[in-house]
Structure 1
Amino acid sequence: MFKTEPLLKSDIVGRAEIETLVNTFYERVRADDTLGFIFDKVAQTNWTMHLPKMYAFWETVLFRTGGFTGNPLAAHARLVPLTDMGRDKFDRWLQLFRGTVDDLFAGERAEHIKNCAADMANVIYSRINGVPDPRFDPANLTLEQRARYSRYQQPAA
């Protein structure tokens, strides 16, 4: 019997990987019992327009080259009167996002995009629901966030 080696995953290196990530992620979102109806029924997402915006958004986040323009906060806030936008929805979104990244990629940028997604989910959740941002509770900070926070807390030289 032959033993096969696991395939090594590459990191996110450009637009092609971002498109693969976004497409795979939103396929999972649309099939998800918790989130699918929000995108398809409540927000009535036009996927032909939404996906290129998301490619540009994540390319801007990772490489500063995507040219994203828009207001993600306003897009999510308009849904609050239409459906529950509670913590469980953002936690599920983040779980699917992290899982998709982990299934497809490995490396520094893959880790960075997951941390950026967590930051974004926390900001949007707290702002549209008028609650404190959970990132400011030290118990909820990732190691990367703790390191950044500690640098901000150091007195200027």
Structure 2
Amino acid sequence: MSRTDILGRDEIVRLVDRFYENVRSDEKLGFIFDKVAGVDWDAHLPRMYAFWQTVLFRDGGFRGDPIGKHARLVLLTMMGREQFDRWLEIFESTVDELFVGENATHIKACAADMANVIHSKINGLPNEKFDPAKLSDEQRARYAAYRKSAD
């Protein structure tokens, strides 16, 4: 099967399903999702479809608290740089396995930003990759629109 770009909901579903297959079989991360967090996959996967559709296309209707959800795990298991780097490695390799194109590249960049922000926030660390003073006008506008839609 030839790779295409991520064009809509169908590709998001395919990406998310394959990604979590990979995560669940990973020795460093699988137990965090299945045993520590006790993820209800029937509920979680549709939320992740909506999340990534919102991230990429701004039309998935996601509402939630990713930082809060991850923060509660800090007391239960390791949620350090190693875990976030592994999560990102699996995400990027899954995207590369299935897709190619502008949206595929963009979703990987979004995932990297998200991994850095969530890791920093839940571990009480400054995020050296996010300095609000260095945002471009476009990034500021996008962030403001996101915050407005999240409220």
For Structure 1 versus Structure 2, the TM-score category normalised by the shorter chain is 0.7 to 0.9
Give the structure-1-normalised TM-score: 0.82
* Higher relative contact order, structure no. (Cα contacts within 8 Å, ≥ 6 residues apart): 2
The answer to whether structure 1 residue 89 and structure 2 residue 83 are counterparts is: yes
**Counterpart of 2:80 in structure 1: which amino acid?**
G
1:10 counterpart = 2:29: no
State the structure with more CA Rg.
1
Q: How does 1:140-155 map to 2 (within 5 A)?
A: 149=134, 151=136
TM-score, with length taken from structure 2: 0.86
The residue type paired with residue 121 of structure 1 is A
2-side partners of 1:8 and 1:78: how far apart? 40
Matches within 5 A, 1:1-157: 8-136=2-130, 149=134, 151=136
The aligned length equals 135
Indicate how the Cα distance of structure 1 residues 150 and 49 shifts in structure 2: closer, same or farther if over 3 A, else same: closer
Gaps of 5+ in 1: 1-6, 138-148, 153-157
Deviation (angstroms), 1:8: 3.9
- Identical-residue share of aligned pairs (%): 63
CA distance in 2, matches of 1:81, 1:150: 33
AA in 1 matched with 2:3: K
Structure 2 portions without partners, runs of 5+ = 138-151
